[in-house]
Amino acid sequence: MDGEIGLRVDGRRRRLRVDTRTTLLDALRDGLGATAPKKGCDHGQCGACTVLLDGRRVITCLTLAVAHDGAEVTTAEGLADGERLHPVQEAFVERDALQCGFCTPGQVCSAIGVLAEVAAGHPSAVTEDLTGPVELTDDEIRERMSGNLCRCGAYVNIVDAVRDGAR
Amino acid sequence: MRPFDYRRAPDPEGAVAAATGWAEVAFLAGGTNLVDHLKLGLAAPDVLVDISGLPLDAVDELPDGGLRIGATVRNADLAAHPVVRRDYPLLARALLSGASGQIRNLATTGGNLLQRTRCVYFRDPTTPCNKREPGTGCSAIGGYTRHHAILGASAHCVATHPSDLAVAMAALDAQVALLGTAGRRVVPLVELHRLPGDEPHRDTVLAPSDLITSVDLPPLPPGARTLYRKVRDRASFAFALVSVAAVLRVEDGVVRDVRIGLGGVAHKPWRARRAEDVLLGSPADEEVFRRAVDAELAGAAPLPGNGFKVPLTRNLVVSALRELSREER
């Protein structure tokens, strides 16, 4: 069974027909050729498929495309302003926060989500005071980025990059 | 994945109507558990009723000082809600200890409560499992049981319920509002989930077309202190081995109010009533705390692979009560 949906992906309006079983990840990659989000585990455990959906970081492998008619999707490919990289992307390059790069588009989108959540004062599991302001400590970054795995183990530099990206 | 029909519900009543009359039907909200199960072949509905657009996404303060949480409120939004952070910190802590940021931005209140067990055999369709295929047997019994139940299990199933949120809600005396073909009704959270018995395929008391519309939290008694603590195999993004949600009010050294929810130990969020009975009216001291948790664990039946959960639960509950009863400085 098919459904027709409209998405705005990295600033471009797109329409496509999808089988109701298609995940948002497969619709982006196979339906629209937006291949920045990666298919890692395909079960919500690795974070490689992370994008910003209506401005919030989400995994795309466990959500159905047909349920997101009219949504705005920003992948890692849509973060740059022309030739100018997003500050978080810059920081990943500067800090050498990757090795193979497969997880990087998801890491970058997730990090941008993290910085927005911290700026909004949302606590995490390691925040001492639930009602006070949130400080972007390394422990906070590690906890908030725990949904993004890196098999190369670039975590140390990823923490540095996220911290730098906040500046 | 088997093909299914997709319908967007116009309103809660329409959602229930759309879900009525099918052999296999599922409500779709965040999808983080259901879509995984569609891929694994654990769920094969004829129709998916999408409730994510319904106006069930509000958090409202109630006249009695309690809180009404809509069924489709995202886990991240609930944890960040100012009233939850101020008045129900254990609920925020429980939510924030579950899943990852990207999942909490999708997952909903109702979906979190109805998520299914993480038992590795349930999730592997090549193995026998009474929960997945009634009558085929339980592969966990005699198998890998690190994450399995020590309380309330049966010879048919030893799975645990994986939710953190549900454990906190059990300790908060939450009430679940349902809409079904026969109209509205309310079920206490602690009665929503079942013990496995000889029907482990039934996680809850819900009929297939029953829709959770909201969850009400009564106000906490003034002076009560709360805590949610979770023990797991890694520091983040892992399910609980054991977790505890506790509400405690001590007056003049005597326990005047206590509610304890346990996670990771049973087929449902476990309310430790036996421990509460020992504690209520007794001095808030370590000896009583130990006696209380021992009364609860007297019925524990650990499996060869999870005996550690008995002392772990004991230590976790005692340390939680000790912390909550400590004089404020």
The string of pLDDT tens digits covering residues B120-169 is 999 999 999 999 999 999 999 999 999 999 999 999 999 999 999 999 99
Answer whether A67 sits within 8 Å of B101, measured CB to CB.
no
Mean pLDDT of A37-60: 98
Q: Per-residue pLDDT for A54 more than 90?
A: yes
pLDDT, residue B327, reads 72
Q: Measure the N-to-C terminal CA separation of chain A; round to a whole number of Å.
A: 47
Q: Per-residue pLDDT for A1 more than 90?
A: no
| β strands within B189-241, DSSP E | 211-217, 225-231
Answer whether B36 sits within 8 Å of A122, measured CB to CB.
no
Answer whether A117 sits within 8 Å of B101, measured CB to CB.
yes
In this prediction the pTM is: 0.98
DSSP string, B180-191: ETTEEEEEEHHH
Asked if B136 and B128 count as a contact pair (C-beta separation under 8 A), the reply is: yes
Residues in A touching B48 (Cβ below 8 Å): 20, 64
* Residue in A59, A123, A142 closest to B102 by CB: A59
Asked if B170 and B91 count as a contact pair (C-beta separation under 8 A), the reply is: no
Residue of A nearest to B83 (CA): A131
How far apart, in Å, are the Cα atoms of B129 and each of B45, B151, B161, B206, B232? 19, 19, 16, 21, 25
Structure tokens at B285: 């001291």
Q: pLDDT tier at B329 (50, 70, 90 boundaries)?
A: very low
The three-point CA angle B301-B302-B303 to 5° equals: 120
Residues in A touching B30 (Cβ below 8 Å): 63
Q: Per-residue pLDDT for B328 more than 70?
A: no
Q: Amino acid identity, residue A12? A: R
**Contacts with B239 (C-beta within 8 Å, 6 or more apart), sequence order:** B118, B147, B162, B232, B264
Mean pLDDT of A140-152: 98
Question: Which three-class secondary structure state does DSSP give residue B168?
Answer: helix
Q: Per-residue pLDDT for B79 more than 80?
A: yes
Please, how many CA atoms are within 13 Å of residue A44, restricted to the half-sphere of its CB? 26
Asked if B30 and A63 count as a contact pair (C-beta separation under 8 A), the reply is: yes
Residue window 1-60, chain B: list those with CB within 8 Å of chain A.
1, 3-6, 28, 30-33, 35-36, 38-40, 48, 50, 52
pLDDT, residue B13, reads 98
Q: Per-residue pLDDT for A157 more than 50?
A: yes
Structure tokens at B291: 């006696």
How far B227 CA sits from the closest chain A CA (Å)? 12
The answer to whether residue B79 neighbours chain A at the CB level (below 8 Å) is: yes
* Residue in B92, B99, B100 closest to A130 by CB: B92
Answer whether A64 sits within 8 Å of B6, measured CB to CB.
yes
The answer to whether residue B277 neighbours chain A at the CB level (below 8 Å) is: no
Asked if A129 and A140 count as a contact pair (C-beta separation under 8 A), the reply is: no
Asked if B269 and B182 count as a contact pair (C-beta separation under 8 A), the reply is: no
Q: No. of H helices and E strands in chain B?
A: 12, 12
For residues B300 and B309, give the distance between their C-alpha atoms in angstroms, rounded to a whole number: 10
Q: Per-residue pLDDT for B296 more than 90?
A: yes
Nearest 5°: phi and psi at B261? Answer: -110, 140
Asked if B1 and B45 count as a contact pair (C-beta separation under 8 A), the reply is: no
B contact test, residue of A26, A122, A150 with most B CBs within 10 A? A122
Share of chain A above pLDDT 70, in %: 100
Residue of B nearest to A118 (CA): B80
Residues in A touching B76 (Cβ below 8 Å): 56, 117, 122
Q: Measure the N-to-C terminal CA separation of chain B; round to a whole number of Å.
A: 58
pLDDT, residue A167, reads 85
Residue of A nearest to B234 (CA): A146
Mean pLDDT of B106-113: 98
Strands across the sheet with B175-180, in order? B59-61, B67-70, B211-217, B175-180, B183-188
Compute chain B's Rg from CA coordinates.
20
DSSP string, A85-139: PPHHHHHHHHTT--SS-TTHHHHHHHHHHHHHHHHTT---TT-S-TTS-----HH
What pLDDT digit, counting tens, does each position of B43-73 carry?
999 999 999 999 999 999 999 999 999 999 9
What does the mean pLDDT of chain B come to? 97
For residues B239 and B263, give the distance between their C-alpha atoms in angstroms, rounded to a whole number: 10
For residues B5 and B49, give the distance between their C-alpha atoms in angstroms, rounded to a whole number: 8
B contact test, residue of A61, A129, A130 with most B CBs within 10 A? A130
Question: Which three-class secondary structure state does DSSP give residue B243?
Answer: strand
Q: pLDDT tier at B281 (50, 70, 90 boundaries)?
A: very high
Answer whether A20 sits within 8 Å of B6, measured CB to CB.
yes
Residue window 71-130, chain A: list those with CB within 8 Å of chain B.
110, 113-114, 117, 120, 122-125, 127, 130
Q: No. of H helices and E strands in chain A?
A: 5, 5
What pLDDT digit, counting tens, does each position of A3-47 carry?
999 999 999 999 999 999 999 999 999 999 999 999 999 999 999
How far A5 CA sits from the closest chain B CA (Å)? 13
For residues B102 and A119, give the distance between their C-alpha atoms in angstroms, rounded to a whole number: 17
Mean pLDDT of B78-85: 98
* Residue in A20, A42, A44 closest to B103 by CB: A44
